[in-house]
C-alpha cells in the first residue's frame, strides 16, 4: 500500500440509492461500503450505466443516499462540503468563458471571502502546481483542452481540499494529453497528500493511477471486488504499463466488468 496512514478519510457505509418511486423506481446502488484512507488514490470502475456517477454524487454530498451514510473524517456528510472538491469531465461547461483563467480559479476563494491579495497569491501558486504559470490573464477558450482541464483542476485544488473527486476527468482530451494529466494528478496527490477518487471507463488508467480499484456490478450496483494494485508511489507511463502485473490486473478487472455486464443482462431477461 502507498497510503500514508490508515485514517479513514472517506467512509461509504451501506449506501443504496434509488431514483423515482412506485413502478418507476430504479434501484441503482445496493449496500455499497468502501473505506477510503487518507492520501489514497481510488478509482471506481464498472459496466456502462452501472451507477458510478450516482455513487460519486452521493459521496460528494451532492445527492443524499436512499439508505446508508457517507462520512468524512468521522463526521456524517449531509451535503456538499468544503473539504471535498470535484472535477467534471466537461471543462467547457465547468469553466466560465468570459472570465480569465485567474478569475475562474479564484472563484471558490472569493465565495469564502478570502481577501483579494491572498486570492492572487493562491491562484499563482496553484497555477504553478498544475503547470500553467503565466496563463492568469488568458481566457479558457485561448487554451488547449488539456490546459483547460488543468484550469479546472487548479480551481478544485485552490482551496486545499482533503479529497479530490473526479468524474471521467480525462475523457474529453486526446490520448497524449490524457497520459500527461494522469501523471499530473499522481504528482499532485503525492506532493499535496490529497485523497483522490476518480470515476473512469478506462481500465488501463485505473490500473496505472490507483492504489485500489473499486469494481462495481450492475442492476443494482454492488461492490463486486476491491482490487489493490500494489504499485508504489512512483509510476511511469512506460515501465509501470510494461510491468507484467499491469497486464494481469487489467485482465482481471476487465474480466470482472465483463462478468458483471453479462449477469446484469441475464437479470434483465429473466
User: SS3 helix, strand, coil % of the chain, rounded to 5?
Assistant: 40, 25, 35
Nearer to ligand ATP, 45 or 72 (CB): 45
Long-range contact set of residues 236-244: C-beta below 8 Å, sequence gap at least 24: 237/179, 237/182, 237/183, 237/208, 240/208, 241/204, 241/208
Between residues 26 and 265, which has the closer beta carbon with respect to ligand ATP?
26
Does residue 62 belong to the site contacting ligand ATP (CB under 6 A)? no
Which residue in 18, 49, 92, 107 binds ligand ATP (CB under 6 A)? 49
Q: In what order do the strands lie in the sheet with 67-72?
A: 26-37, 8-19, 67-72, 75-76
Strand partners, 163: 84, 195
Q: Which of 7, 18, 27, 53 binds ligand ATP (CB under 6 A)?
A: 53
Among 10, 12, 28, 257, binds ligand ATP (CB under 6 A): 28
Applying CB under 6 A, which of residues 2, 16, 54, 148 lies at the interface with ligand ATP? 54
Instruction: Give yes or no for residue 51 binding ligand ATP (CB under 6 A).
Output: yes
Q: ∠ CA(175), CA(179), CA(103), 5° rounding? A: 95
Judged by beta carbon, residue 39 or residue 46, the one nearer ligand ATP is: 46
Candidate segments 44-52, 121-129, 171-179, 233-241, binder of ligand ATP by CB under 6 A? 44-52
CB nearer to ligand ATP: pick between 39 and 61: 61
145 CB-side CA count, 13 A: 13
Cβ–Cβ under 8 Å, residues 132 and 95:
no
Angstrom distance (rounded) from CA 174 to CA 176: 6
CA distances from 62 to 22, 33, 137, 165, 261 (A): 23, 18, 32, 12, 27
Out of 1, 14, 19, 234, name the contact with ligand ATP by CB under 6 A.
Answer: 19
The three state secondary structure string of 200-242 is CCCHHHHHHHCCEEEEECCCCECEEEEEECCCCCCCCCCHHHH
88 binds ligand ATP (CB under 6 A): no
**Identity of the residue, 58 or 188, whose beta carbon is nearer to ligand ATP in the bound complex:** 58
Is the CB of 15 or the CB of 147 nearer to ligand ATP? 15
Of the pair 16, 122, the CB lying nearest ligand ATP is at 16
Rounded to a whole number of angstroms, the minimum distance from the CB of residue 18 to ligand ATP is 9
Residue in 228, 243, 238, 242 with CA at minimum distance from that of residue 3? 228
Answer for which of 32, 36, 37, 50 binds ligand ATP (CB under 6 A) is 50
Strands 26-37 and 8-19: antiparallel
CB of 224 to ligand ATP, least distance (A): 13
**Residue 220 contacts ligand ATP per CB under 6 A:** no
Question: Minimum CB separation from ligand ATP for residue 29, in Å?
Answer: 8
Q: Give the footprint of ligand ATP on this chain (CB under 6 A).
A: 19-20, 26, 28, 46, 48-54
Amino acid at each position: 500500500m502507498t497510503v500514508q496512514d490508515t485514517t479513514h478519510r472517506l467512509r461509504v457505509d451501506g449506501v443504496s440509492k434509488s431514483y423515482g418511486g412506485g413502478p418507476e423506481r430504479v434501484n441503482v446502488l445496493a449496500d455499497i461500503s468502501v473505506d477510503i484512507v487518507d492520501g489514497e488514490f481510488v478509482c471506481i470502475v464498472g459496466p456502462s450505466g452501472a451507477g458510478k456517477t450516482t455513487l460519486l454524487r452521493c459521496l460528494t454530498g451532492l445527492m443524499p443516499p436512499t439508505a446508508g451514510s457517507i462520512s468524512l473524517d468521522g463526521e456524517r456528510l449531509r451535503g456538499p462540503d468544503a473539504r471535498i472538491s470535484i472535477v467534471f469531465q466537461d471543462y467547457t461547461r465547468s469553466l466560465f468563458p468570459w472570465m480569465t483563467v485567474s478569475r475562474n480559479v479564484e472563484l471558490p476563494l472569493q465565495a469564502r471571502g478570502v481577501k483579494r491579495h491572498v486570492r492572487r497569491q493562491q491562484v499563482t501558486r496553484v497555477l504553478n502546481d498544475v503547470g500553467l504559470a503565466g496563463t492568469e490573464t488568458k481566457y479558457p477558450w485561448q487554451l488547449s483542452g488539456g490546459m483547460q482541464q488543468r484550469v479546472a483542476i487548479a480551481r478544485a485544488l485552490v482551496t486545499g481540499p482533503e479529497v479530490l473527486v473526479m468524474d471521467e476527468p480525462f475523457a474529453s482530451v486526446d490520448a497524449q494529453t490524457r497520459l500527461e494529466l494522469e501523471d499530473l494528478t499522481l504528482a499532485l496527490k503525492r506532493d499535496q497528500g490529497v485523497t483522490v477518487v476518480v470515476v473512469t471507463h478506462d481500465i488501463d488508467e485505473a490500473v496505472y493511477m490507483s492504489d485500489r480499484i473499486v469494481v462495481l456490478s450492475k442492476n443494482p450496483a454492488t461492490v463486486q471486488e476491491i482490487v489493490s494494485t500494489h504499485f508504489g508511489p512512483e509510476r511511469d507511463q512506460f515501465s509501470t504499463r510494461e510491468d507484467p502485473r499491469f497486464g494481469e490486473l487489467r485482465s482481471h478487472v476487465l474480466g470482472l466488468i465483463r462478468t458483471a455486464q453479462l449477469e446484469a443482462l441475464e437479470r434483465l431477461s429473466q
